[in-house]
Amino acid sequence: MPERRARRGWREPRPLGGAVDRLRSSLAPPTLLAQVQDRWASATGERVAREAVPVRERAGVVTIACRSATWASELAMLSPRLLETLNEALPEGVVVRELRFVVEPL
């Protein structure tokens, strides 16, 4: 059987994940809440992200809905550290002033 020659300019397939991330970023509304939601899991860790989700924002204060009062209480105690980590993950000039934790269905 004859060998197939590579077509000129042919490249190996690239992973789809990078393209999906770029598309998602370009479609996300440029609000503070959207940016926090986009970076929440990477800033807090998957375990926290499964139990608590950013749901509202007003004047730089982001409300986090927690699965239980225990999670809300624990995260409120960790709030200064979470706030610092989250603000480091956000683009320059974008700042969350405060995190508030409430118990709401996720």
Flag residues of the chain having pLDDT under 70: 1-9, 21, 24-25, 28-29
Structure tokens at 26: 């370009």
pLDDT tens digits along 62-82: 999 999 999 999 999 999 999
pLDDT for the residue 25: 65
- Whole-structure pTM value: 0.74
pLDDT for the residue 12: 79
pLDDT for the residue 19: 75
pLDDT for the residue 64: 98
Q: Assign residue 77 a region (left: φ > 0; alpha: ψ between -120 and 50; beta: otherwise).
A: alpha
Alpha carbon distance 95, 88 (integer Å): 9
Check the CA dihedral 3-4-10-14 and report its sign: negative
